[in-house]
Amino acid sequence: MFALIKATSQDVPPGEAVFFRSLFALPVLIVWLILRGDFPQKLKARDPMGHVWRGLMGTFAMASGFFAIGLLPLPEVVAIGYAAPLLVTMLAAMFLGEKIRLVRLSALLLGFFGVMLILSPRLTIMETEVTTRLQTIGAMAALMAALFSALAQVFARKLVATETTGSIVFYFSLMSTFLALLTLPYGWKIPSSEQAFLLVSAGLLGGVGQILLTESYRHAEVAVIAPFEYCSIILALLFGYFVFNEYPTGIMMVGVALIITAGIIIIERERRLGIKRTGKARSTVPNQG
């Protein structure tokens, strides 16, 4: 999906790309909901404002990411996006009252150091051989995309207490389509037939991706699934090299390795804490025999 968006990014504004990505994900999501028996009966919103906040943050994340991908190499944007799970841990502590103990705090510091390594060549207001001002702006946009994505996940965590999974993904796509339309006066262009094909394909793939990720979390623990998401850097490197002629730098790869290590430490720590909590809960259940 990101590769298709990048292929159109020089001519298609980010808001227009968000519109296509969101609109053409809707038919895929609706078919999936119908097959599950969730459409329309399980789409009732018990927390409308929760959906609004989740939709706003998610749309800002998508728009920032699409903007960044037009200015930076694909692997770099994907790598900076790995900051989102780290930010979720930090924001969950701030807004949801979740505790961060020494192991997770150490992992967070390691991960953020990795993020700073990736960003370091771009953090300059002067043009150099390594970076330009536009690439610096792109790096900041990618970091903002990670922050907005983390906020969207925090709001989604609150929503799951009252809302169905189907309603969360459906209303997000609906709202992001509407919000993207608001950017229409700011320079939308009529895409060529090739660009339209790429944009529609990005939307369809985005919808399929949402479904597959949602279904995967129904059948396995987060600790099992989350490491597979880091495979996206391999795909980004391949697309970047073979399609866009982009080469990763050594410092970027070191930063990626640190972020992935930190993410896996946090995931494994949460898994172990979950097992301990389950064991304690079971031990407190009175013997009915």
Type of residue numbered 283 = S
Q: Which parts of 187-249 fold into alpha helices (H)?
A: 193-219, 222-229, 232-242
Q: Are 104 and 89 in contact (CB under 8 A)?
A: yes
Category of 45 on φ-ψ map: left (φ > 0), alpha (ψ -120 to 50) or beta: beta
Copy the structure tokens of residue 42: 């399980």
pLDDT for the residue numbered 273: 65
Two tokens, residue 36: 């599950």
Residue 289's pLDDT is what?
37
CB 78 within 8 A of CB 252: no
pLDDT in tens, the chain (289 residues): 999 999 999 999 999 999 999 999 999 999 999 998 889 888 989 999 999 999 999 999 999 999 999 999 999 999 999 898 888 888 878 877 777 788 888 999 999 999 999 998 888 765 665 568 889 999 999 999 999 999 998 888 888 888 888 899 999 999 999 999 999 998 899 999 999 999 999 999 999 998 888 788 777 776 677 778 888 899 999 999 999 999 888 999 999 999 989 988 888 877 776 655 555 545 444 444 3
Helix axis angle, 193-219 relative to 222-229, nearest 10°?
150
DSSP letters for 70-130: TTS-HHHHHHHHTHHHHHHHHHHHHHS-----HHHHHHHHHHHHHHHHHHGGG--SS--SS
What is the C-alpha separation between 127 and 248, in angstroms, rounded?
Answer: 20
